[in-house]
Amino acid sequence: MSRNAESTAFRSALEVIRGVEPRVAEAIGAELADQRESLKLIASENYASPATLLAMGNWLSDKYAEGTVGRRFYAGCQNVDTVEALAAEHARELFGAAHAYVQPHSGIDANLVAFWAILADRVEAPALKRAQARHVNDLTEQDWFALRRELGDQRMLGMSLDTGGHLTHGFRPNISGKMFDQRSYGTDPATGLIDYDRVAEAAREFRPLVLVAGYSAYPRKVNFRIMREIADSVGATFMVDMAHFAGLVAGKVFTGDFDPVPHAHIVTTTTHKSLRGPRGGLVLCGPELADQVDRGCPMVLGGPLPHVMAAKAVALAEARRPDFADYAGRIVDNAQALAEGLLRRGATLVTGGTDNHLVLIDVTGYGLTGRQAEQALLDSGIVTNRNAVPQDPNGAWYTSGIRIGTPALTTRGLGTAEMDTTAELIHTVLSQTGAGANPDGTASKAKYVLDPALADKIGRQASELLAGFPLYPSVDLG
């Protein structure tokens, strides 16, 4: 698509929207302006291509399409079948998977589909066979009791939230923590790294039905071969949530023992983050779980979103191009350069560095909580998010850490030299921010003190840094 065509497309779309609700058009335009001007370092965010964005705004949104390709509960789904089949084909080829299910609306939906597919495979299917029943609803209470006594509790072993895991891996307030009797494995307190011997010990003691690997704030690779061996040793289904690092798998930065697809029974991911697609999810698995996964609608999901599946097809097609592998490699180069720049300036990093796309700063060395640091950086034009660190004394709300990542800035074209400048800006803000006090004089975990003149100065420097790397340069809204 030419630059002129992209500008025309987005201008025209906003003009149409403005004719109905101008405040929505204004917010959309403002969001583009904000993203262009901000140093975006949120590890879970990126910039989708104009083609991917445009694929979501069309008539596919009007279709109901419960079911799967060729087996819909509504008529007239031939075009939905086309885009869903294309998205699944691209996903299979990109990741080397036997089966791909592209309907999940989000990462948590993808995980729910995986959880229920595993439970259906491990619990429902044997129960049906035992009772010689055709449907789970035909099972008697005695059938279920006998099966549960044989299999044990529906147990999940996943990475703890404060050491980098995700809330959908059994965190109690999340539905996953209510579906399973859950236990967490953590990291070595001295190194911050996964101790596979301790994971194996926890698995032998707990005997989980599901062993989950994957993370949202762990700055290192995971050896999925070892994790699969641990799962096999206790008869667990091995599931990997690669939502954060899917782009590094797609770009062949993570291969061999660090590519989850050959080792896991089932893999879930989002399609945004490092994969640079639309907000959504997908599930990859082998043929043994394919039928159960394809029951995601109506088992977990309502109607799929055909317009988003179309955007997934576009983004996955983009990820199959040779330049995506170069992009994925630069994500890691940039993250490591950013980590090195922060370390040189005296920052404390969880695990002392990074192997992937993210860096986790322990901001207690600056005398701050994560919430204070997050807001001070935002005031200075640097967008991050607070995050817990291992054994975090401030809990999951205030936290003691800041999580930063490089997928978005790498999309804009920034390189390792710019990462060092970014490290300087971050360090300057954090070192010049002080903890604030509550009205009664007690120390506050939220209030902070930062000279507005310094914040303005850093904001200008961030804008100057970004000026050489325009965002969506082909889009001019006029």
Which residue in 121, 124, 241, 418 is the catalytic one?
A: 241
Cα 316 to Cα 311: distance, rounded to the nearest angstrom = 8
Which residue in 279, 345, 447, 457 is the catalytic one?
A: 279
Phi and psi of 273, rounded to 5°?
Answer: 45, -135
64 is catalytic: yes
Cα 423 to Cα 338: distance, rounded to the nearest angstrom = 6
**CA distances (Å), 255 to each of 265, 337, 375, 427, in order?**
17, 22, 37, 33
Cα 81 to Cα 306: distance, rounded to the nearest angstrom = 9
Which residue in 8, 36, 37, 66 is the catalytic one?
A: 66
The rounded radius of gyration (Å) of the Cα atoms in the chain is: 23
Phi and psi of 192, rounded to 5°?
Answer: 80, 5
Which residue in 68, 268, 269, 270 is the catalytic one?
A: 270
H or E element, residue 411: helix 407-412
Query: Tokens 């991050």 label which residue?
Result: 384
Cα 366 to Cα 444: distance, rounded to the nearest angstrom = 15
Q: 119-125: list long-range contacts, CB under 8 Å, 24+ apart.
A: 119/154, 119/179, 119/209, 120/292, 120/295, 120/299, 121/237, 121/288, 121/289, 121/292, 122/151, 122/209, 122/237, 123/147, 123/151, 123/154, 125/292
- Number of CB atoms found within 10 A of residue 328's CB: 27
H or E element, residue 401: strand 401-405
66 is catalytic: yes
Sheet-wide strand order for 385-387 = 348-349, 358-362, 401-405, 385-387
Cα 111 to Cα 130: distance, rounded to the nearest angstrom = 28
**Residue in 311, 298, 307, 309 with CA at minimum distance from that of residue 66:** 298
273 is catalytic: yes
Burial grade of 358 (CB within 10 A; 0-12, 13-18, 19 or more): buried
Active-site residue set: 64, 66, 241, 270, 273, 279
